[in-house]
Amino acid sequence: MHGGPRYMNRRSFITSTGALLASRSLHALPIQKKQREAIPVGKADHSLRIEPCTLEIGPGVTIKTLAYNRQVPGPLLRLRTGVPVTIDVFNASPNADLVHWHGLAIDSLNDGAMEEGSPMIPAGSMYRYTFTPKPAGTRWYHTHASAYEDLSAGTYSGQFGFLLVEGKEQPAQYDQEINLAIHHWEPSFVPMVQMMREHSSNMPLTAGSDVGYKYATINSHMLGTGEPIRVKQGQRVLMRLLNASATENVVLALPGHSFRIIAMDGNPVPNPRPVELLSLAVAERIDAIVEMDAPGIWVLGSILEKERQMGLGIVVEYAERTGSPVWKDPPADEWDYTQFANVVEAPKPDETFVLTFRDSGPLHGSKFDTWTINNKSWPDIEPLTVQQGKRYRMVFRNGSGDQHPIHLHRHTFEVTRIGSKQMSGLMKDVINVMPLDTVEVDFVANNPGDTLLHCHQQLHMDFGFMQLIKYSG
C-alpha cells in the first residue's frame, strides 16, 4: 500500500462508503443469503457473474483475469430503447465491485459509479440493476472499481462487454455485423519519462510512473490466432469497434479498404464519410460500414508495428481466398473529429465552465502523478453546480503532455470546438483532448442526479482526475 493521506483517504472512502451503501440496499445481497424476503422478486432479464477466468489469447499465452460469465468480452446485451430492464450482477470475485452502464442516460443509483452514490457489490453478493435504457446506439458496460497500483483490478481486467440499445430505426443497411473490442494485457509500471519519449519527442517530460503492456487483443485473441473475420466480396459489413483498454489509445487500419463512419459513441454523426484510419481513444466507440471490395487475406490492426507484434489485430479473410495475411502501411493522415460534424456554430450556452488539466507530479511519497482540474484533485475538489434544463459549455484545457479521453456520465455532449475549429452536431460521451490542446463541449442538464466527469484512463482517474456535477434545488 503506497502513498500518503490523499490516497489513503480516498481508498478508505471507497471501501467504507461502498460497503455501507451496499449493505443498506435491499438488492445487494449475499448469494447464499437465506432471508428470501429481501431477494428481488422474479427472474432478471439478464445475469452477469464477476468471476476469475483464464484466457488463452495466443499459443502458449494465457491470461488470468476477472471477467463477466468467464468470457471476454462479456455477454452481448441487446436492449430496446425505452423498455425497462433488470440485470442481476453476482460478485464471485474477492473484492467489492460494480458495473457501469457506459453511455446510458439513467439514474445515478443504477449508473454504476460509487462517486455518484451507486452501491458497491460486496464479494459474495448480488445486486439487481433496474433501469430504462436510452438513447439507442452502441454502448458498453464495464467495471468502475478503482485499481491504484493493483494492475489486475479495474479496467486492467477483462470486465467489459458490448451493450447495444436498439431503436426503431436501422442505422444503415448491411449484410453482416461484427463487434470488435480492443484490450491490452499484462500491464506493468514503467517510468513516465520512458513512455513520453516513446510517444513524442517534443512533449514536456514528467516524473512518476505510467503503464506499459506485453500483449494486446481484439476480442480475446492476439493477431493470427482465433477465428478470422470471414467475409464475401460485395458485402457491406457493419463493424462496431470499442477501445476497452485501461490506458492505451489506438489507431487502426484495414489495407485496401476504407471505413465509412456512421456513428461515434453510438450516436449518428452529422457527416458520415469514409476514412483510411480509425482513431479510438480509451472508451470510445465507432460504428463503421466497410465495403468488402478488395478480395484477399488482410490484417485489420494497429498502424504501429510494435502493437501488431503485441497482438493488436485480427485477420479478415475473403471466401475462397488463401495465403498469408497481408499488411500494408496506410497513407499518413491525422485524425480530425471536425470532419464528421457540421461547420456551423453551436447555440450559445447559458453558462461556461473552464477546466484546466495538469499533473502535479508524485505527491506524498507516491510514485504516481496526481492529476488536477483547476489545481484540485478528487476527492478534494468542489462539484460543478448546474440547473435543470440549462445548456452548459465545458472548456477542456489540457495543460499536460498526455492525451485525455474525457467521459461525462449519464449525459451526451455536443462537441462545439477543437482548437480554433468551431463545429456542431457531433454528439459523444468521450472526447480525446490532445496534449496542450483545448476542446469545448456542450451538454444540457436534462438528467438530474449526481454526475461524474473524469478522464477514462484508469491511472489518471485513480489519482485525482475526477469531478462531480451536481444539480441545484
Domain match, 231 and 358 both: no
Instruction: Indicate whether 78 belongs to any domain.
Output: yes
Instruction: Indicate whether 346 belongs to any domain.
Output: no
Q: DSSP states of 79-129 as a string?
A: EETT--EEEEEEE-SSS-B-EEEET----HHHH--GGGTPPPB-TTEEEEE
* Residue of 88, 89, 25 whose CA lies nearest to 51: 89
Domain match, 377 and 324 both: no
- Percentage of the chain modeled with pLDDT above 70: 86
Domain match, 11 and 139 both: yes
Separation between Cα atoms, residue 460 and residue 455, nearest integer Å:
6
Instruction: Indicate whether 343 belongs to any domain.
Output: no
The three grid cell numbers given for residue 301, joined into one nine-digit string: 490492426
Bond before 73 cis per omega within 30 degrees: yes
Instruction: Indicate whether 212 belongs to any domain.
Output: yes
Domain match, 106 and 134 both: yes
Phi and psi based region of residue 122 (left: phi greater than 0; alpha: psi -120 to 50; beta: remaining): beta
Task: List beta partners, residue 180.
Answer: 241
Residue 192: band (very low, low, confident or very high) from pLDDT cuts 50, 70, 90: low
Instruction: Indicate whether 197 belongs to any domain.
Output: yes
Domain match, 141 and 42 both: yes
Q: Is the pTM of this model over 0.85?
A: yes
pLDDT exceeds 90 at position 197: no
Domain match, 20 and 159 both: yes
The pLDDT tens digits for 405-462 are: 999 999 999 999 999 999 999 999 999 999 999 999 999 999 999 999 999 999 999 9
CATH number for the domain that contains residue 102:
2.60.40.420
Domain match, 388 and 437 both: yes
The pLDDT tens digits for 50-109 are: 999 999 999 999 999 999 999 999 999 999 999 999 999 999 999 999 999 999 999 999
Range of the domain at 242: 176-335
Residues 6+ apart with CB under 8 A from 219: 72, 73, 179, 180, 181, 226, 314
- Stronger pLDDT, 92 or 29, i.e. the higher one: 92
CB-CB contact of 185 with 215 (8 Å): yes
Residue 1: band (very low, low, confident or very high) from pLDDT cuts 50, 70, 90: very low
Domain match, 109 and 218 both: no
The pLDDT tens digits for 280-307 are: 999 999 999 999 999 999 999 999 999 9
Q: Which of 18-32, 270-284, 425-439 has the weakest average pLDDT?
A: 18-32
Domain count, the chain: 3
Residue 362: band (very low, low, confident or very high) from pLDDT cuts 50, 70, 90: low
CB-CB contact of 134 with 165 (8 Å): yes
Distance (Å) of CA 387 to CA 354, 390, 393, 444: 17, 6, 13, 9
Domain match, 154 and 86 both: yes
Which residue among 276, 306, 335 closes a domain? Answer: 335
CB-CB contact of 416 with 393 (8 Å): yes
Domain match, 194 and 322 both: yes
Instruction: Indicate whether 340 belongs to any domain.
Output: no
The pLDDT tens digits for 105-143 are: 999 999 999 999 999 999 999 999 999 999 999 999 999
Instruction: Indicate whether 344 belongs to any domain.
Output: no
Residue 154: band (very low, low, confident or very high) from pLDDT cuts 50, 70, 90: very high
Domain match, 158 and 181 both: no
> Given strand 430-433, what is the order of strands in its sheet?
384-386, 466-471, 451-455, 404-408, 430-433
Which residue among 166, 200, 219 closes a domain? Answer: 166
Residue in the block written with cell 457506459: 102
Distance (Å) of CA 209 to CA 88, 351, 368, 369, 455: 37, 37, 5, 7, 17
Separation between Cα atoms, residue 212 and residue 207, nearest integer Å:
15
Taking residues 363-389, what's their average pLDDT? Answer: 89
Mean pLDDT of the residues in the chain: 89
- Stronger pLDDT, 50 or 32, i.e. the higher one: 50
Residue 209: band (very low, low, confident or very high) from pLDDT cuts 50, 70, 90: low
Instruction: Indicate whether 126 belongs to any domain.
Output: yes
The three grid cell numbers given for residue 139, joined into one nine-digit string: 454502448
